[in-house]
Amino acid sequence: MGRNNRHWHKKPQRPVSDYQPPYAADVLAMSVEGLNLSAETLEILQKGGITTVGHIVSRRKNDMYKVQNFNKKRLFEVVNAIAPLGVDFRPDENAGEGKEDGRERRNGNERNDRQNSENKGSGERRDGDNRGGERRKEGRKDDRMQENKPREDRDRERSRRDEKAPSDERRQGREDRRDDRREDDRRDDRRDKQGDKQGNNKNGKQNNAVDFSKIFPREKLVHSPRIEPEKDIFTKFQRAGKWGFKDQNGKEVIPPIYTEALSFKEDMAAVEMNGLFGYINRENVLVIPYKYDTAGSFSEGWANVTLGEKCGYVDKTGREMVPFIYDAATPFTGEGYGRVKKDGRWGNIRKDGEVSWQ
């Protein structure tokens, strides 16, 4: 008797699917090892009994999640692997119908809910509209009386008043407050425009400022054109860490033998050899011997040089024109003076040796 009960309560077998993928037989028989899959995904498929492309495309995408350890990341990988073969998973035949039926049911439920809500709330809204209309009249009357108060104070008072009201009135109060705020903005814009036309400032007060530009007109500022530095006919170049000069055609005119070199100015260039500076001419003749610790370019016939820790000026023959008594010195500006520093002060020095300290 017990055996018969067990026989009749045995779980029925699941019917075998009759779906046949509409693809070529050689594609369906292709092994999953021929797909571009990672080793982990390939192992998961094989352990789940999926060894051919036909095993994949005969399943729906959701069926793949029934394979142990198969997740969404693995599904994307398989989809990308079978796409070049022109095959895809089994379509869900009832998906479109289910969506349409569900959409219609949802639309019907929403219509019923809306109708019930409208019927239920019609009476409440009428009462709320009456109470809200009375409250709006009183509130706007108070707003007109408080129009001169700051806008922030008015908003705070309205918020406190609305918090004490029921939910319908609070909602209506928020809408009224937004409308009032828009009206305040429009009123402020009109006031500002009117004030601009009448010469008033934003506070409504008469603007008595005098426009001195009309009384004392200034000439239009004209910027002087930028003066580009003159490009010398010789340009520096470097080779193997040494400096030399080329002409305008790129031909080497002074070989790269100097540790450092300044551009030619007034047909003279400061160059460094063995840690000391001297001056050469365009024929690469050393005119002023190497004896200066630093050197500047010639300007107005003089060049600023340094001996030890003091600076002075020399002419194109190397004769000392300004004694080495300054802490710093710059080339002459082209306007008859250079800049020197002594005891923490800067001054303008002229060729007669007189310094105007600043």
Whole-prediction pTM: 0.40
Q: Residue 239: its pLDDT value, please?
A: 95
Write out the chain's pLDDT in tens, 358 residues. 445 545 444 444 444 467 889 998 888 998 988 888 888 898 999 999 999 999 999 999 989 999 988 998 889 899 988 888 889 999 886 654 445 555 555 655 566 666 655 555 555 555 555 555 566 656 565 555 555 556 666 667 766 666 655 565 666 667 777 777 777 777 777 766 665 555 555 555 555 566 666 666 666 666 656 656 678 999 999 999 999 999 999 999 999 999 999 999 999 999 999 999 999 999 999 999 999 999 999 999 999 999 999 999 999 999 999 999 999 999 998 889 999 999 999 999 999 989 999 8
Q: Which amino acid is at 2?
A: G
Contacts of 295 (CB under 8 A, 6+ apart): 262, 270, 277, 278, 279, 303, 304, 305, 306
Domains in the chain: ranges and CATH:
19-85 (1.10.150.20), 129-187 (no CATH), 235-357 (no CATH)
In the three-class reduction of DSSP (H, G, I as helix; E, B as strand; rest coil), residue 24 is classed as coil
Query: How many CB atoms neighbour CB 198 within 10 A?
Result: 10
Which two structure tokens, joined as six digits, stand for 59? 């399943």
305 forms bridges with which residues in the sheet?
295, 312
**Residue 253 near residue 234, CB atoms below 8 Å:** yes
Question: Residue 163 in contact with residue 170, Cβ under 8 Å?
Answer: yes
Q: How far apart are CA 52 and CA 192, in angstroms?
A: 78
- How far apart (Å, rounded) are the C-alpha atoms in residues 80 and 208? 76
DSSP 45-75: HHHTT--BHHHHHTS-HHHHTTSTT--HHHH
CA separation for the pair 181, 339 (Å, rounded): 65
pLDDT attached to residue 181: 73
pLDDT of amino acid 39: 87
In the chain, which ranges are continuous DSSP H helix?
2-8, 25-28, 39-47, 53-57, 61-64, 72-82, 95-145, 151-163, 167-198, 212-215
Which positions ≥6 away from 193 have C-beta within 8 Å? none
CB crowding 304-343: b at 16 or more within 10 Å, else e: bbbeeebbbbbebeeeeebebebeebbbbeeeebbbbebe
Cα–chain center distance at 180:
38
Q: Is 195 exposed, middle or buried (0-12, 13-18, 19+ CB in 10 A)?
A: middle
Q: Round to whole Å and give the CA distance between 186 and 277.
A: 76
pLDDT for res 187: 75
> Which bin fits 277, alpha (ψ -120 to 50), beta or left (φ > 0)?
beta
State how beta strands 252-258 and 345-350 pair.
Answer: unpaired
pLDDT of residue 7: 47
What is the C-alpha to C-alpha distance for residues 47 and 277, in angstroms, rounded to an integer?
Answer: 83
* Tokens linked to 126: 């009428």
Beta bridge partners of 302: 299
Render 180-228 in DSSP notation, one character per residue: HHHHHHHHHHHHHHHHHHHTB-TTS-B-----HHHHSPPPPP-PPPP-P
